[in-house]
Chain A
Amino acid sequence: SSELTQDPAVSVALGQTVRITCQGDSLRSYYASWYQQKPGQAPVFVLYGKTNRPSGIPDRFSGSSSGNTVTLTITGAQAEDEADYYCNSRDSSGYHYVFGTGTKVTVL
Chain B
Amino acid sequence: QVQLQESGPGLVKPSQTLSLTCTVSGGSISSGNYYWSWIRQPAGKGLEWIGRLDTSGSTNYNPSLKSRVTISIDTSKNQFSLRLSSVTAADTAVYFCARVVDKWNYFYFDYWGQGTLVTVSS
Residues of A participating in the B interface, judged by any CB pair closer than 8 Å: 30-31, 33, 35, 37, 41-45, 48-49, 52, 54, 86, 88, 90, 94-102
Contacts and interface: CB of A to CB of B under 8 A. Distances in A.
B35 to A, nearest CB: 9
Interface of B: 37, 39, 46-49, 52, 60-63, 96, 100, 104-110, 112-115
A98 B114 contact: no
Contact of A96 (B39, B60, B104, B105): B60
Nearest to B52: A97
Contacts of B108: 33, 45, 48, 88
B109 A96 contact: no
A45 B106 contact: no
A49 B46 contact: no
A44 B48 CA distance: 15
B60 A102 contact: no
B112 A42 contact: yes
A42 B115 contact: yes
A98 B49 contact: yes
Given A43-B109, A44-B112, A99-B49, 7 more contacts: A31-B107, A96-B60, A97-B37, A97-B100, A98-B49, A101-B46, A102-B47
